[in-house]
Structure 1
Amino acid sequence: MKAIVKACSLVLSLGFLLSACSEKDIPGYENDPRMFFQIPGSGNIAVRDSLMYSFPAHPKVIEADTLWFNACIMGNATPYDREIGIKINTEKTTAVEGVNFKIASKVLPANAFKVRIPIVIYKTGLKDKSVRLQLEVQDSKDFKIGYNRYNKAIFIWGDKYLKPDIWDISNYKNAFGTFSETKYAFILNACGITDLPDQADIVMLGYYNAAVRKAISEYNASHAIPLKDEFGMDIIIGPWSGVGGVG
């Protein structure tokens, strides 16, 4: 019986000690708020490394358009706006701020965990050429740099048909062969699209492959000279079964 009383007394004593410790007596831990960037992907690709934009693929755009990326936080939302630190990597950028582009906003709104950042890009002065912009997360009064893997966002645009950077190592080449600007323009126009689908979507690429081959056949049947690219070579696209995969 004495042993039971002693055990109960010990439990009560521990209870009093624990209850005596209030929240303010226990040091809390909060990570520093951090920021990272993401360019939304499409199809099976949730996030992409870079974004390419060809003005000729958007004939209704006369002077400027807007590209977007997400600025996301690691940490808690706050009831007030916060400043997003954005640095232009000048060594890896050819675009000129105020001439080729402007960053329209650098603010994370109150109570938000992410925000879409608009980059207005301009067409003037880019005929038959392109420019590159590499943005990187920069420490600000509100945020430190987050994931190293997602600390940059790269954009390439121009008043010409730009070759997708993964063309030669993806199903784009399997479906359409060697890249040329003329071929790419014809593909987009024949399919009524402004950008190719995710290269992993072999069903859609197979559909577009067939549509483009039909369009080339119809063009050649109605013209004395077959469809040629900018190098003077006939544009020929063979049937594709979807077999081959990336690479």
Structure 2
Amino acid sequence: MKGYLKYIVLAVASLLTFSSCEEKDVEVYGNDAYLVFEMPGLGQSNTLRDSLVFSFPVKGDECVEDTLWFKARIIGKSVPYDRVIELAVNGEKTTAVANENYKLDPIVMPADAYTVDVPLVVYRAGLQGKSVRLELTVEPNEFFGVGFDKTSKAIFWWGDMYIKPDNWETTNYKPCFGEFTETRYAFILKACGIVELPDPQDLVTMGFYNAKVREALYEYNSTHEEPLTDEKGRVEFPKWTGQGGIG
């Protein structure tokens, strides 16, 4: 009986020791802070993505620079002092030139904060008919490590042209609006009165814009001697209601 009680005591002691170690490990891990990026849509879309495309022509000829906003968010605890955030440019995948195509000021995570809005100023000069790409990554420092792989980089495309959204071929954009061309894209944005397409999974809004675009095209062709054309020929939009869209 005494041997049995001794066994129980040792087992309980071992369990308590193991639990204590686990709590200590969790506490140590929880004290580390990691950074991730969040980039909501330019317009009404709240969908988060790891890339953002901006076409200067949607803002008119007078727009020579604009600001693209994204968030830096910490995974971990806030602290009662400011912390410097360091970003690195992936040179192999970047064509944009600092202070010529864009400006990115030093970033600080404020005391007691979990997120900070980061402004990326982009310039139009020298980009007529072309675009540039910028890929930012988290640079580990004494305050922050790299968070999840998928959200630890931020990709930006911009230029003085209508740039094809990187998910045009793989989402509801293509079945809703057809093949991409700059002429077609410009017509879509103007007809719908928007500067960026909505979330492709928002089937109701996508279906509404499809009807709006087809109506605008009919009106255009009815009031012009020649129908709207682009480099692929006469512009046509498929009838798409949103039912059975891509998930």
Whether TM exceeds 0.5 here: the answer is yes
| Alignment partner, residue 158 of structure 1 | 159
How big is each residue's C-alpha offset from its partner over 1:172-228, in whole Å with a ceiling of 9 and x where there is no partner?
Answer: 111111111001100100111101110011111111111111111111111111111
| Correspondence list, 1:2-13, <5 A | none
For 1:206, give the aligned amino acid: G
C-alpha distance in 1 between matches for 2:163 and 2:45: 22
Single out whichever of 96-105 and 177-186 deviates more from structure 2. 96-105
Contact 1:174 1:244 in 2 (8 A): no
Which structure 2 segments of 5+ residues have no match? 1-23
Q: Which amino acid aligns with 1:33?
A: A
Q: How much has 1:144 moved relative to structure 2? A: 1.6
CA contact (8 A) 1:38 1:47 kept: yes
Aligned to 1:240: 240
TM-score using structure 1 length: 0.83
Aligned to 1:194: 195
Structure-1 separation of matches of 2:147 and 2:59: 34
Matched ranges for 1:1-247 at <5 A: 29=28, 30-41=30-41, 46-59=47-60, 62-229=63-230, 231=231, 233-246=233-246
Q: Which amino acid aligns with 2:236?
A: I
Q: State the SS of the aligned residue for 2:221.
A: helix
CA change 1:44–1:193 in 2 (3 A) is: closer
Moved more, 89-98 or 102-111: 102-111
- 1:52–1:44 Cα change, 3 Å: closer
Closer, same or farther: CA 137–245 of 1 in aligned 2, 3 Å: same
- The separation in 2 between residues aligned to 1:176 and 1:99, in whole angstroms, is 34
What does the per-residue CA deviation read over 1:153-189, in whole Å, with 9 as the maximum and x for residues that have no partner? 0010011001111111211111111111001100100
Aligned equivalent of 1:21: none
Q: Partners of 2:239 and 2:145 in 1: how far apart?
A: 51
TM-score by length of 2: 0.83
Distance 1:138 1:216 in 2: 48
Tell me the C-alpha RMSD between the 2 structures: 2.1
Q: Number of aligned pairs? A: 221
Kept after mapping to 2: 8 A contact 1:71/1:115: yes
Is this contact kept in 2: 1:55–1:61, CA < 8 A?
A: no
Q: 1:146 to 1:117 in 2, by over 3 A?
A: same
CA distance in 2, matches of 1:184, 1:80: 46
Runs ≥4 residues deviating over 6 A: 42-45
Give the Cα–Cα distance (whole angstroms) in 2 for the partners of residues 141 and 158 of structure 1: 36
Cα shift at 1:108: 0.8
Q: Is the 8 A contact 1:104 1:120 kept in 2?
A: no
Alpha-carbon separation, structure 2, partners of 1:179 and 1:141: 45
| 1:121 counterpart SS class | strand
Unaligned runs of 5+ in 1: 1-25
What amino acid is aligned across from residue 151 of structure 1 in structure 2?
S
Alpha-carbon contact 2:210-2:241 (below 8 Å) kept:
no
Q: What letter corresponds to residue 134 of structure 2 in structure 1?
A: L
1:134 partner amino acid: E
The 2-side partners of 1:179 and 1:232 are apart by: 10
